[in-house]
C-alpha cells in the first residue's frame, strides 16, 4: 500500500471511500442486520491489503506497524442504520448525487463519518513514524444501543489511550456527552370501587413522584454538559373506569452528566419518591475528554468549537477519554431524504488527518 502523503493521494483515497459509502447506502443495514455492510467493509480492506478482524457484525483493523509498547488511539463509527420513516420521497437505498449532495439512508448518520475515518486510517496505515498505534473499528447496533456492537469489540482491543467517535458534528468538537439512564418506576396502591371511598389510588402517588421529578434540580452542574435532565416519557395505569388502580407504571428518561455516577443518580431519586425503581441498564455512562488534551487543542487551532453533546453515542461504552467529531449535521440524522454534502466528507478527512498528524507522529 503506497503512502498517502500529498493532496493528490488523499483526494484519490477520498473518492475511494465515497464509492464505498455509496455501496453502504445501497445495502440495507438495520441494527442487528448488518452482515452485508460488514462484508463490504471487509472487501474494502482486502483490496487495500489490510488485515482485519471480525466479531459478529463488527470489523476492526490495526496499523501495519502495530507496536504493543506504544499507546493506541481508536477510530470508531457505526455502519448500522435506523429504518427509513414514512416521509421519504426518494428511495432510501439509492445513493443519489445531486449537485454536492449525496442522498441515502445512513449517508449522514453515520456513513460519512465512518468512511472518513476509514480514509484517515488508510492514510496512516503503513506509516513507520507513528508514536501511537491506530485501530479502526466499524461497529454494529449503535442505533439501538445494542450489546453486540462496540461493547464486544473493546475487550478484544489493547488499552485505548483516547478515541475519536465519528458522529455528525460538522467537525466541531463534542468534548463531553451525556449518559442515558432509563428508569421504570412503579407506584403501588390498593384497588377499590371508584364510587366509594375505597382503595389507595396509585395514580395519585405517581403524580406526586412525577411532580418531584419535574421540579428537582441536581445541585452539581457540569461546565460542559449543563444540568442533569429528567423527563417522564411513558405512563400506564388502570384497567377500567370504575376501579381505583392499585398500580401505576411510568418511565423516566435521565440524561446524566459527568458530575454524578449513574448509581448516585438512582440513589437520589429513590430517596425522594415513593415508587419502586428499576434501571433498565447502567451501561450508557457520560463521557468526556480534557480540554487540554492534544487532540482537542489540535481541533481548536483549526477554528473548531468545543461543546457538550446532549445525545448519546457509542462513546458511552468507552472508559477512555473520547472525542465525538465527524462530518455532517446532526439535525439531518433519522430524517426523510437524509443526505450529506460531498464537500463535508472531503473536508472531514483533511481535518481528521491534520489533527492526528499533530498527535500521533514524531
All three cell numbers of 191, joined, read 384497588
Task: Delimit the CATH 3.40.630.10 region(s) of the chain.
Answer: 1-177+286-360
Residue-level pLDDT at 85: 92
CATH 3.30.70.360, the chain: domain bounds: 179-281
What kind of fold does domain 179-281 have according to CATH? Answer: Alpha-Beta Plaits (3.30.70)
3-state secondary structure the chain: CCCCCCHHHHHHHHHHHHHHHHHHHCCCCECCCCHHHHHHHHHHHHHCCCCCEEECCEEEEECCCCCCCCCEEEEEEECCECCCCCCCCCCCCCCEEECCEEECCCHHHHHHHHHHHHHHHHHHCCCCCECCEEEEEEECCHHHCCCCCHHHHHHHCCCEEEEEECCCCCCCEEEEECEEEEEEEEEECECEECCCCCCECHHHHHHHHHHHHHHCCCCCCECCCECCEEEEEEEEECCCCCEECCEEEEEEEEEECCCCCHHHHHHHHHHHCCCEEEECCCCCCCEECCCCCHHHHHHHHCCCCEEEECCCCHHHHCCCEEEECCCCCHHHCCCCCCEEEHHHHHHHHHHHHHHHHHHHEC
The backbone torsions φ and ψ at residue 259, rounded to the nearest 5 degrees and listed phi first, read: -85, -15
* pLDDT at site 190: 96
Give the model's pLDDT for residue 5.
Answer: 55
What is the per-residue pLDDT for 362? 74
Q: Which grid coordinates are listed for 95?
A: 445513493
Residue recorded with cell 471487509: 42
Q: 103: which 3 cell numbers?
A: 442522498
Task: Say which CATH superfamily domain 1-177+286-360 falls into.
Answer: Zn peptidases (3.40.630.10)
Q: Write out the three cell numbers for 196.
A: 366509594
**Predicted pLDDT of residue 8:** 85
Q: Which residues of the chain have pLDDT under 70?
A: 1-5
pTM, rounded to two decimals: 0.89
Whole-number pLDDT of residue 311: 86
- How far is the C-alpha of 302 from the C-alpha of 22, rounded, in Å? 29
Contact 37, 111 (CB under 8 A): no
Q: Would the CA dihedral through 40, 41, 47, 52 be positive or negative? A: negative
The pLDDT value given to residue 54: 98
Is the bond into 110 cis (omega within 30 degrees of 0)? yes
Q: How far apart are CA 202 and CA 238, in angstroms?
A: 9
Amino acid at each position: 500500500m503506497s503512502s498517502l502523503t500529498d493532496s493528490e493521494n488523499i483526494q484519490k483515497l477520498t473518492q475511494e471511500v465515497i464509492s464505498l459509502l455509496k455501496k453502504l447506502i445501497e445495502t440495507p443495514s438495520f441494527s442487528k442486520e448488518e452482515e452485508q455492510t460488514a462484508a463490504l467493509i471487509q472487501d474494502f480492506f482486502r483490496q487495500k491489503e489490510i488485515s482485519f478482524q471480525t466479531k459478529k457484525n463488527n470489523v476492526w483493523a490495526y496499523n501495519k506497524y502495530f507496536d504493543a509498547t506504544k499507546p493506541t488511539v481508536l477510530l470508531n463509527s457505526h455502519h448500522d442504520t435506523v429504518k427509513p420513516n414514512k416521509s421519504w420521497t426518494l428511495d432510501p437505498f439509492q445513493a443519489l448525487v445531486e449537485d454536492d449532495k449525496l442522498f441515502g439512508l445512513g449517508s449522514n448518520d453515520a456513513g460519512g463519518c465512518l468512511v472518513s475515518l476509514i480514509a484517515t486510517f488508510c492514510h496512516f496505515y503503513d506509516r513507520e513514524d507513528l508514536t501511537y498505534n491506530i485501530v479502526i473499528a466499524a461497529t454494529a447496533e449503535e442505533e439501538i444501543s445494542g450489546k453486540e456492537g462496540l461493547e464486544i469489540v473493546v475487550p478484544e482491543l489493547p488499552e485505548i489511550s483516547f478515541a475519536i467517535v465519528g458522529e455528525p458534528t460538522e467537525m466541531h468538537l463534542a468534548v463531553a456527552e451525556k449518559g442515558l439512564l432509563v428508569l421504570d418506576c412503579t407506584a403501588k396502591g390498593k384497588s377499590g370501587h371508584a364510587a366509594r371511598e375505597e382503595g389507595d389510588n396509585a395514580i395519585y402517588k405517581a403524580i406526586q413522584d412525577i411532580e418531584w421529578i419535574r421540579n428537582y434540580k441536581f445541585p452539581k452542574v457540569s461546565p460542559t454538559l449543563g444540568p442533569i435532565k429528567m423527563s417522564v416519557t411513558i405512563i400506564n395505569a388502570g384497567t377500567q373506569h370504575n376501579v381505583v388502580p392499585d398500580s401505576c407504571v411510568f418511565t423516566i428518561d435521565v440524561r446524566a452528566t459527568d458530575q454524578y455516577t449513574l448509581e448516585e443518580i438512582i440513589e437520589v431519586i429513590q430517596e425522594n419518591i415513593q415508587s419502586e425503581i428499576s434501571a433498565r441498564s447502567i451501561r450508557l455512562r457520560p463521557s468526556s475528554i480534557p480540554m487540554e488534551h492534544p487532540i482537542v487543542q489540535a481541533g481548536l487551532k483549526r477554528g473548531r468549537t468545543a461543546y457538550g453533546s446532549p445525545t448519546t453515542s457509542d462513546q458511552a461504552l468507552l472508559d477512555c477519554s473520547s472525542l465525538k467529531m465527524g462530518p455532517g449535521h446532526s439535525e439531518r440524522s433519522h430524517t426523510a431524504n437524509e443526505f450529506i454534502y460531498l464537500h463535508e466528507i472531503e473536508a472531514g478527512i483533511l481535518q481528521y488527518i491534520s489533527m492526528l498528524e499533530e498527535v500521533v507522529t514524531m
